[in-house]
Structure 1
Amino acid sequence: MAKINYKKLQGSQNLRLRLLLSTLSSTPILIVDIRSNETIPGLRPHEISLLRLIEKVCDDCHVEINETGTKLKYKPGIVMGGKYLVHDCGLSRSIGYFLEPLVVLGLFGKKPLSIRLKGITNDSKDPSIDTFRSTTLNILKRFGVPSEGLELKIENRGVPPLGGGEVVLSVPIVHTSLMAVNWIDEGMVKRIRGVSFSTRVSAQFENAIIHAARGIFNRLLPDVHIFTDHKAGAQAGNSPGFGISLVAETTSGCYISVDTTISYPRKEETAEIEDDERADLKPPADVGVEIASALLGEIEQGGVVDSTHQGLLYILCALCPQDVSKIRVGKLSPYGIEALRLIKEFLSVTFAIKPDPSTGTVILKCVGCGLKNLSRKLS
């Protein structure tokens, strides 16, 4: 048997990006010293859950973890896709953490992907499922992903600490490859849309958030519509909470989004707080003002996507055919910078980065690696 050459990496950072790019480029990786100096060393539950999820959608991939979880060997397989798959994402990170790598892998599968994910649908760490529906899916369509069969259905919502949410993600396959983009025109904001939700608390919370957010937007724009989604019973998951996801649509078809969720903290985050001193939820009016200001901040930065979607945008550009893609973003986000480094390492795609001083934005250009969907069935 031929000896496998593993690409050696160190540390726990950006495991999600490393696994995604390793799978797409068919590069086996060996990661050492995963949190080896921390009190609880090794991989975290959500990282192991992500590995299990990749095993479900791929065939013939091989995962080896040592006893302490500080060393991981991963040999990627073939992305199969498939339907009626089910995965429990656990409670340490929300479903949003798993969606980004999953949707990119799904595009290059043998068959379209349909999977039911269980866990936390909205939390304050990861992009919410509402943002994914309103923004992420629209970004994919820019790259020629067919809109038929690309959807995310929210069955139940679930917030930390106990989750209880369920969503069904469907991803079509790209028949040969993605389309290169020339996407530098941000346009002007023409409307703001949003969804405010609440689970196991009064619907008044949603109304208070919307009222506060609209108080800021109405001074700037007439077309503001924020929907409410009040869940009750089994659909409301297992924990009380509320939140909002906002998206600004521009005249050139860009979607800039922000979201937030207010709920009780997870156990590990409240080790020092006793039950009697359980923190109260933040007042919804304050949340509305903060989130509206955050959206205005993202719009002000400029660029065709918001800072949380930069990494995904770079990956999609790098996977395009061997043609030039040109994009404009606001200030480079730390996650975006890491994505650029790893794309160079795994796909040998280098971006030319040029600041545009007149607008304070940055223009990036690259020639894609020309990844084709070779695992799909040829008719």
Structure 2
Amino acid sequence: MSSTRPSSEPLVTLDGSRGEGGGQILRTALTLSLLTGRPFRVSKIRANRDKPGLRPQHKAAVDAAAMLGRAEVLGCEVGSRDLVFRPGRVEPRDLTIDIGTAGATGMVLQTLHLPLAMRSETARRLTLIGGTFNPKAPPFPFLDRTWRAHLANLGLPVALAMPAAGFYPRGGGRLEAWIEPASPKPWVRTTRGDLTRVRGVAGSANLPDHVAERMRDRALARLADAGLNVDVDIETAAWPSIGQGAAISLAAEHAGTPPATFVGVGERGKPAERVADEAVDELLGFLGVPDAAVDHHSADQILLPLALAEGRSIYTVSAVTEHLRTNALTIRAFLDRPIEVEEPLAEDQPGRVVVG
């Protein structure tokens, strides 16, 4: 990656409808293209979604990656189903990106994080404006409690803040990240310690107080019925926002492993109790696989930094998802790196991922 001119290497070709068929393929491809200098073409972008093609958050991620890597890009318009990306040299800088909609700031953060961390000599600040609570992308509480803790274990320190929450349809949320220069380390964890406590936040923006209180009360009642013999504490919060919205996050804290955070996101017409149920159901599902070191949301997200780390990594997961399988396929298209994804042998047993 010594040249500032776009790469003339053969294109890595990706089928955007394969496997999970969402924005993750594009996110991983952009990250790896910037780090390896390999250009790519992805067709049938998000073919498995209700609104196929690039959405505003994907366009924002491509535009930011192109600016960071002085790339030539074809097909970067909202709705485009075919994209070609030819990177030049990565030139890290502080960035402020306004998605312009309620599109997922978490998706843009995860696209740019590793290129900023691995190619910078000083800490970089990334400011993202858009949605911070999205049902199909990592919401802020998950990023702050779980993703960030996993990154710390891998030697990739990141600090996050959410000065304002952003919900569909108005967006306007603000996610700020401070990314330290670092390279990932391998990680081995095939079990987890005892459950020590559950911490939660039930929050709302520009809604009556009872919305957050009902989410909290429903979650507390469900967890009590499940017979958890640990401290459970769920706070309520009123988030600043230009729009209205509600969400609840529940973090299961186990000795020796990062917390596993599950988030229910409200939407118009969805009762507060149902929002809480979504987070509780995911939490109880995770607790039902006692030997899983990593929750199913984190499983595919830590795979990319571990594939870039020198050395062998092994971790157990509460479920093997299409996101995990698809991310492994996308990474293999760019890197000559063995990745094995082993399916669980029974419902209450974990799957296993071996890298290297």
Fold shared by both chains (TM-score > 0.5) = yes
Residue in 2 that maps onto 1:262: 266
Which amino acid is the alignment partner of residue 262 of structure 1?
G
Q: Superposition pairs for residues 223-238 of structure 1, below 5 Å?
A: 223-231=231-239, 235-237=240-242
Displacement of 1:38 in angstroms is 11
Asked if the contact 1:62–1:75 (Cα under 8 Å) also holds between the matched residues in 2, the reply is yes
Segments of structure 1 that go 5 or more residues without pairing to the other structure are 265-280, 368-379
Is it true that 1:125 corresponds to 2:136 in the alignment?
yes
SS of match in other structure, 1:263 = coil
Residue by residue, what CA displacement relative to the aligned partner does 1:39-96 show, whole Å, maximum 9, x if unpaired? 987533332111112134x14222122888343221123333323x210123252212
Displacement of 1:364 in angstroms is 2.3
Residue in 2 that maps onto 1:9: 14
Displacement of 1:353 in angstroms is 4.1
Q: Superposition pairs for residues 17-28 of structure 1, below 5 Å?
A: 17-28=28-39
SS of match in other structure, 1:211 = helix
Give the direction of change, closer, same or farther, for the CA distance of 1:155–1:348 in structure 2 (3 Å limit): same
Q: Superposition pairs for residues 286-325 of structure 1, below 5 Å?
A: 286-302=274-290, 303-321=292-310, 323-325=311-313
Residue by residue, what CA displacement relative to the aligned partner does 1:300-338 show, whole Å, maximum 9, x if unpaired? 2352221111111211221111x2211111221100000
Displacement of 1:225 in angstroms is 1.6
Give the direction of change, closer, same or farther, for the CA distance of 1:3–1:131 in structure 2 (3 Å limit): closer
SS of match in other structure, 2:288 = helix
Match of 1:76 among 45, 67, 87: 87
Displacement of 1:355 in angstroms is 5.1
Give the direction of change, closer, same or farther, for the CA distance of 1:35–1:259 in structure 2 (3 Å limit): closer
Residue in 2 that maps onto 1:159: 167
Displacement of 1:161 in angstroms is 0.6
Is it true that 1:245 corresponds to 2:270 in the alignment?
no
Which amino acid is the alignment partner of residue 295 of structure 2?
D
Q: Answer with 249-258 or 87-96: which moved more.
A: 87-96
Which amino acid is the alignment partner of residue 251 of structure 2?
V
Is it true that 1:365 corresponds to 2:341 in the alignment?
no
Higher gyration radius (CA): 1
Residue in 2 that maps onto 1:109: 119
Q: Answer with 28-37 or 67-76: which moved more.
A: 28-37
SS of match in other structure, 1:236 = coil
Q: Calculate the aligned-residue CA RMSD, in Å.
A: 2.6
Displacement of 1:206 in angstroms is 0.9
Displacement of 1:27 in angstroms is 0.9
Aligned equivalents of 2:164 and 2:47: distance in 1? 37
Which amino acid is the alignment partner of residue 44 of structure 1?
R
Residue in 1 that maps onto 2:328: 340
Give the direction of change, closer, same or farther, for the CA distance of 1:36–1:250 in structure 2 (3 Å limit): closer
Asked if the contact 2:215–2:272 (Cα under 8 Å) also holds between the matched residues in 1, the reply is yes
Match of 2:212 among 206, 209, 232: 206
Displacement of 1:137 in angstroms is 0.2
Segments of structure 2 that go 5 or more residues without pairing to the other structure are none
Displacement of 1:159 in angstroms is 0.8
Residue by residue, what CA displacement relative to the aligned partner does 1:10-41 show, whole Å, maximum 9, x if unpaired? 34642222222222222111234557999987
Which amino acid is the alignment partner of residue 12 of structure 2?
K
Give the direction of change, closer, same or farther, for the CA distance of 1:40–1:121 in structure 2 (3 Å limit): closer
Q: Answer with 10-19 or 312-321: which moved more.
A: 10-19
Percent identity, aligned pairs only, is 24
Asked if the contact 1:81–1:112 (Cα under 8 Å) also holds between the matched residues in 2, the reply is no
